[in-house]
Amino acid sequence: MKLILAPMEGLADFWIRQALTDIGGYDWCVTEFVRVNGMLLPPKVFYRWCPELRTGARTRSGTPVHVQLLGSDPACMADNAALAVRLGAPAVDLNFGCPAKTVNRHRGGAVLLDEPELVYRVVSAVREAVPAEIPVSAKMRLGNHDDARALDNARAVAAAGASWLTVHGRTRVQGYRPPAYWDRIGAVRQAVALPVIANGEIWTPEDAARCRHESGCQALMLGRGAVSDPYLALALRTGEGGQWPQLQARLADFVRTIIGTGKPVQEAGRVKQWLNYLRRGWPEAEQLHQQLRRERTAQAMLAAIEA
């Protein structure tokens, strides 16, 4: 079984990737998308979204980091993919799943699933632009407004030479509302001759087991569930999760690492964002969230967490 940490815009940044992969259980993780808008981006943009490129494209724990690109211009996507690889990316992932309105208005993300032929051209151009030994993958939803073209898009990705396909089991319109349609991921898996990774609404080991059963996929991508339970991947590997004292220590380490990386209010916001997810399954996190809700600096939060 392969387990991958999902790309999550505004959430799974360098610091969260580091914290979660330190705990362990992941085969690789994927960056937040690098937006490609008609130009060859300077290297500093790739380093901003993937600082791990400076350390062999691996997190502190040694987990490989794949770079994700988002855009609709095949030639420009190809040029930027080639640059990402020259900078050290071990693999390139292509985003056909983002449901954000601002992204979709600029012909990025899940709206491209209305055009399977364009999906093919983007994947094909990137595949041709990077060395053969570098994997090129794609991540898609079941569709834009509906899932009528799910199989067409999956076949386009496969025909273009992708190494694997990750499918989020909802359409763009469905957003993140439960449920995720794992059985539809299974239909995609059966339609293509390349590995398919299942993604969406996996919060617990029980969810993971049901997803594998319904989709038939042996590889899972964990997103918000991994942020909510940082020990989820490890539990899927070993059958044993974490305890609050362990997580509290991890949280304190996370806070220490982000102090000095931005404005105090930004740093505090990062801590509160993670705590908000932790509240889902950790009563202690709910108590801590209430305790820290009025704090304006990560330094003050750290003192409370370590008290």
DSSP states along 256-283: HHHTTSS-HHHHHHHHHHHHHHHTTT-H
Whole-Å CA distances, 262 to 48, 86, 128, 250: 13, 29, 39, 20
> Is residue 66 within 8 Å of residue 130, measured between CB atoms?
no
Which helix (H) or strand (E) element contains residue 190? helix 182-191
Half-sphere CA count of 8, side-chain side, radius 13 A: 22
Residue 97 CA to residue 69 CA, distance in Å, equals 11
Q: Are strands 2-5 and 219-222 parallel, antiparallel or unpaired?
A: parallel
Q: Which residues are catalytic?
A: 98
